[in-house]
Amino acid sequence: MTPFQQRVYEFIREIPRGRVTTYARIGNALHCRSAQAIGQALKRNPLSPEVPCHRVIRADLTFGGYFGKTSGAKVREKIALLKAEGVEFTDGKLTDPSRLWPDD
């Protein structure tokens, strides 16, 4: 476990239910300009249930990926989880961009 990962996970844990955030926003919060590094950390996610990594999507508002894949059952599961929280997706994108967190 690295300090960077701890910061990422801690931030994600702060995401309220029914809200989502993007890699860019996390990077901003961590004063890091690299979403890739975040993705790398999340993929390796050593603590899957503790960190709601399914609430993290791309700046494009597309799903991005989940557990190392950009598509597949895992991603669909991610979508299902978000939908269960009231975050629905349309045409592969976030239906309500206002659900982005933080609010700005």
Told to check if 100 binds DNA by CB under 7 A, we report no
Told to check if 101 binds DNA by CB under 7 A, we report no
Residue found by looking up tokens 């300090």 in the block: 3
| Whole-number Å distance between alpha carbons of 67 and 47 | 12
Told to check if 79 binds DNA by CB under 7 A, we report no
53 is catalytic: yes
Single out the residue of 53, 79, 87, 94 in contact with DNA (rule: CB under 7 A).
Answer: 53
Single out the residue of 19, 20, 21, 56 in contact with DNA (rule: CB under 7 A).
Answer: 56
Single out the catalytic residue among 53, 56, 87, 94: 53
Single out the residue of 22, 79, 82, 94 in contact with DNA (rule: CB under 7 A).
Answer: 22
Q: What is the DSSP string of the chain?
A: --HHHHHHHHHHHTPPTT-BEEHHHHHHHTT---HHHHHHHHHH-S-TTTS-GGGEE-TTSB---BTTBSSSHHHHHHHHHHHHTT--EETTEES-GGGBSS--
Catalytic residues: 53
Residues near DNA, by CB under 7 A: 2-5, 22-24, 32-37, 39-45, 53, 56, 58-60, 64-70
